[in-house]
Amino acid sequence: MVYPGSTDVHTNNYGGSPGNYVSKGAVAVTGKSAVTTHTQLEVLAYFSRTLAADGWKQTQEDIRAATPEGLPAHWVAWDKPKLRLSYFVEVWTVGEATKYYTQFGSNE
């Protein structure tokens, strides 16, 4: 899912890793990264409305997060517990552009 009118849209796939006797491994996730001229709050409101309408429940939020580059960011996470699915959106601003990325994966 992407915010309507977004540009520079890319798909991000992160492969999982198999478990072993020490750990259970990690599941694969997929997501999108994109840019919009709309505000961080507009982007997050869109995802919140869309996901809530489909039965997702918001589970976490951090308004004081930071990107790996140290830019201030805001992220929100949702779960669909019966299906063991999670959805994550992080937004930040660079100049007049709002950038964001999403992750969709399993909680297993």
Q: At 64, which amino acid appears?
A: R
pLDDT band at 29 (very low <50, low <70, confident <90, very high): confident
* Domain 28-106: homologous superfamily in CATH: Kinase associated domain 1, KA1 (3.30.310.80)
Indicate the pTM of the whole model. Answer: 0.87
Edge to edge, what strands does the sheet with 97-106 contain? Answer: 7-14, 29-36, 97-106, 85-94, 72-80, 57-66
Q: Across residues 13-33, what is the average pLDDT?
A: 71
Q: Are 79 and 85 in contact (CB under 8 A)?
A: yes
Res 19 pLDDT > 70: no
Beta strands in 1-108 (DSSP E): 7-14, 29-36, 57-66, 72-80, 85-94, 97-106
Average pLDDT for the chain: 90
Local confidence band at 16 (pLDDT 50, 70, 90 cut-offs)? low
Q: Can you tell me the mean pLDDT for 18-24? A: 60
